[in-house]
Structure formats: structure tokens, C-alpha cells
Structure 1
């Protein structure tokens, strides 16, 4: 699978703050769910990875909050794999309400093994059609 992965999200009352808008940290939850769904769709079993002592870890997040989302909004998270190396991936994620961009983030995900040492990404990820080191 390559291209853009799309993940729907509904804003619930519990997602909002006192001003009635989505609390800023919840955007990180939304994009995490979308990445988990993307990984599952391409055939990576994170529980099997964990059993082998290898996990994903967010190494870096750069986020832009552009417009607020509100209670009951129907949002969509778009996830795109930007760069792939043997032990990490860089992803671009955008949260939209219809065509309106609300939030953008660039995420660096590292694959780590025992003791927090870098580990190779699963074969399903390394096989994606993005040149290593691009």
C-alpha cells in the first residue's frame, strides 16, 4: 500500500475543552489512531513485533494547529509515508474537516529493540515503494 491513508474521526464531547473546541493533545490521539490503522492495513502485526522485542516509538513530532475542530465534527486524518530508512519512517499527517485543513504534523517513528537500541523496520514496511534514504 502506498499513497494516502484516510481514517475517519468523530469529535465527541469528551474531546473538547472549556471553550468547546478540541483540546490540542487530542489531535495527537487522532493521528496515533490513524497510524495504527495504516500499519495494520499494510500487514504489520504490532503484537507480534512486541513479542519479538521490537516496537515503534515516536521520536519527533512537529505540529501546526491551524483551525479548531468542535464537538460532533466529522474529521478525516490523512497519513502519507514521506521517507523510509531501515530503522525509521517519516510520516506526514493532516486532520481535515471536509476540505478544510485543521492540523498538520510531521512524525518521525523509530523502530527500537531491546534496551532501546535501533532495530530494523518490519519487512512489510521496508518493502513499501519508497526508496530507502530518499
Structure 2
């Protein structure tokens, strides 16, 4: 899936470059839209008592991104087992790779680690096999 958005001024630092902390926010937006595209937005998962927990995150900065540039974020499910799932992110501006990211997640319900809900596991399994 590709998530597209424009960079806002408040996301930049004193040099006019997107501040490093905002990449994780962009990844979260892209991941949220990915789940929404599968028919299971965060809001619905939360209504069912689930929380998606971020366990790990990394970002490799290739080239700076500036205010008002449009970014395209390619989101890919890269790993999934009974409890954990991971995504990779490629951030492009005008076709040029600007950053690479990875996140790892799990589900928590009532404060305890739970297996990935069956509905989502089925949808993610289909997505995972289509991409690989």
C-alpha cells in the first residue's frame, strides 16, 4: 500500500528539514491507513478491546525531506506469527528514496499480550502472501 501526504512546516527543524521524530509519526499514519484499507481501522480494534503496541522502531535516513514536499510511503507487512507482526516503510519524494523504516508490534487486551485477532490475522495473511 502507498500512503501519500504533504510535509507541514511544524514538522521541520531549524534547518527546514523534517525532524527525525516525525518519521515515526508518518510511519504510524501509514500503518493506520494500511489497517483501514483492510477494513480494520485502529478505532474498530480499540472498540473490540485491543491495543496495537509498538515494540520496536527504527529509521534509516537517506536524504533530507523538506517542508511542503509530498511524500509517498510504501508500507509492507514483512513478518507475522501468532503474536507479533512487523512492517517495513520506504519513504519517497518524487521517486527518490529518502528513508527506510521498520516497526514491530503486538496486540494487548486487558493489559495482557494476546494472539493476533483471527479477523486481522486472516486479512494480514492474505496481504503477506500477496506481497511475498
Instruction: Pick one of 109, 120, 124 that aligns with 2:119.
Output: 124
Q: Give RMSD over aligned pairs.
A: 1.7
48-57 or 28-37, larger mean C-alpha shift:
48-57
- Alpha-carbon contact 2:33-2:41 (below 8 Å) kept: no
Selected match of 2:30 from 34, 50, 60: 34
Could you tell me whether the CA contact under 8 Å between 1:63 and 1:106 is conserved in 2? yes
SS in 2 for 1:89: strand
Higher deviation after alignment, 27-36 or 120-129: 120-129
How far residue 118 of structure 1 moved from its aligned partner, in angstroms, is: 1.3
- The answer to whether the 8 Å contact 2:76/2:88 transfers is yes
Task: List alignment gaps of at least 5 residues for structure 2.
Answer: none
Q: Which residue of 1 aligns with 2:63?
A: 67
Number of residue pairs matched by the alignment:
127
**Distance change in 2, residues 1:103/1:86 (3 Å):** same
Residue 21 of structure 1 contacts residue 71 of structure 1 at CA under 8 Å; is this kept in 2? yes
Unaligned runs of 5+ in 1: none
SS of the aligned residue for 2:86 comes to strand
- Equivalent position to 2:13, from 17, 20, 30: 17
Give the TM-score of the pair, scaled to structure 1: 0.86
Partner of 1:112: 108
Tell me by how many angstroms 1:54 deviates. Answer: 1.4
Other structure's SS at 1:118 match: strand
**2:50 equivalent among 45, 49, 54:** 54
